[in-house]
């Protein structure tokens, strides 16, 4: 199975500052037939289910603010929040779906 | 409104059985790939099982042979039958739908229910 590891486990950032979360898979998640990265990001606020933010590593889901962006390819990926807002406090999960489906352990984002 | 509503969780002793339900509204479970994903207290997400539109089913190694996913198209509901429950099965269980386009599943989850808590304890 593909193992997905996120870093850091948690971080505290001041409002308006940039947030960077990393996600690393043990194998490439690029599907050769379409050259797409089978990686998604979800946001989970306290007491709520996860919500899809990004898919194909860098495609923003409809309605997601453009301060959220995804990048990377192969085995290394990044979720960036360009300017942290209070409503962005949450746990962020990455998930690969190139081979079954596995999630990272999650990254908790708090306000400093 | 397009939504998923889980039910059936509760407190159960180790070795016991429980059946979870996931009722879908405003879309058909028979045309979609539907999964169960769980989250142990304070932990990350773990994919548990999926049923494809064609009926094929797949399971995580941690539940294979103990859990069964199935659906009732007439009730537009997906179920997870959980047998031989263990303390480590304690988690919130979410039902989730794969995003799809005209060619089929896109393999990531675009719709989640609010979850149902399963506690396995003596």
Residue A77 parent element (H or E): strand A76-81
Instruction: For residue A6, give Cα distances in angstroms to A56, A75, B47.
Output: 17, 12, 17
Query: Residue A57 — left, alpha, or beta (φ > 0 → left; ψ -120 to 50 → alpha)?
Result: left
Q: Which site among A46, A101, A106 would you substitute to test the B interface, given the most B Cβ atoms closer than 10 Å to its Cβ? A: A101
pLDDT value for A1: 87
What does the longest C-alpha to C-alpha distance in chain B come to?
48
- Give A32's contacts (C-beta < 8 A, 6+ positions apart): none
Give A7-64 pLDDT, tens digit per residue.
Answer: 999 999 999 999 999 999 999 999 888 899 999 999 999 999 999 999 999 999 999 9
Q: Cα–Cα distance between A61 and B113 in angstroms, integer?
A: 18
Token pair in block for residue B52: 């494809």
Token pair in block for residue B99: 């995003």
CB B5 within 8 A of CB B114: yes
Q: Cα–Cα distance between B48 and B66 in angstroms, integer?
A: 11
**What are the backbone angles phi and psi of residue A14, rounded to the nearest 5°?**
-70, 150
Task: Please determine, for residue B18, whether its predicted confidence score (pLDDT) is greater than 90.
Answer: yes
Q: Residue A2: which of A30, A36, A22, A21 has the closest Cα?
A: A30
Q: Is the dihedral of CA A7, A96, B38, B102 positive or negative?
A: positive
Is A50–B110 a contact, with Cβ atoms under 8 angstroms apart? no
Q: Cα–Cα distance between A108 and A40 in angstroms, integer?
A: 17
Percent of all residues in chain B with a pLDDT value above 90, rounded to a whole number: 93
Query: Which of B44, B47, B112 is facing A106, going by the closest CB pair?
Result: B44
Q: Cα–Cα distance between B23 and B15 in angstroms, integer?
A: 26
Token pair in block for residue B14: 């180790």
Chain B CB contacts of A93 below 8 Å: 44-45
Give B40-91 pLDDT, tens digit per residue.
Answer: 999 999 999 999 999 999 999 999 999 999 999 999 999 999 999 999 999 9
B47 touching A, CB under 8 A?
A: yes
Is A49–B112 a contact, with Cβ atoms under 8 angstroms apart? yes
Is B107–A101 a contact, with Cβ atoms under 8 angstroms apart? yes
């Amino acid at each position: 199975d593909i193992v997905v590891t996120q870093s850091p486990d948690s971080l505290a950032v001041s409002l308006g500052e940039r947030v960077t979360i990393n996600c690393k898979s043990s194998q490439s998640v690029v599907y050769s037939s379409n050259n797409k990265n089978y990686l998604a990001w979800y946001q989970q606020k306290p007491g709520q289910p996860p919500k899809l933010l990004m898919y194909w590593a860098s495609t923003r889901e409809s309605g997601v603010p453009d301060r959220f962006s995804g990048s990377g390819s192969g085995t290394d990926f990044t979720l960036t929040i360009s300017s942290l807002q209070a409503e962005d406090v949450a746990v962020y999960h990455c998930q690969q779906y190139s081979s079954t489906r596995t999630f990272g352990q999650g990254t908790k984002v708090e306000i400093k | 409104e397009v939504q998923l509503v889980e039910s059936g969780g509760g407190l159960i002793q180790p070795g016991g059985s429980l059946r979870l339900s996931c009722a879908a509204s405003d879309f058909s479970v028979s045309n979609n790939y539907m999964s169960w994903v769980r989250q142990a207290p304070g932990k990350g997400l773990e994919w548990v099982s999926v049923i494809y539109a064609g009926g094929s089913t797949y399971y995580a190694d941690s539940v294979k042979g103990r859990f069964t996913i199935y659906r009732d198209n007439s009730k537009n509901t997906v179920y997870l039958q959980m047998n031989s429950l263990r303390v480590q099965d304690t988690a919130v269980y979410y039902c989730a739908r794969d995003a799809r386009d005209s060619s089929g599943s896109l393999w990531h989850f675009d719709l989640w229910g609010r979850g149902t808590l399963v506690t396995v304890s003596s």
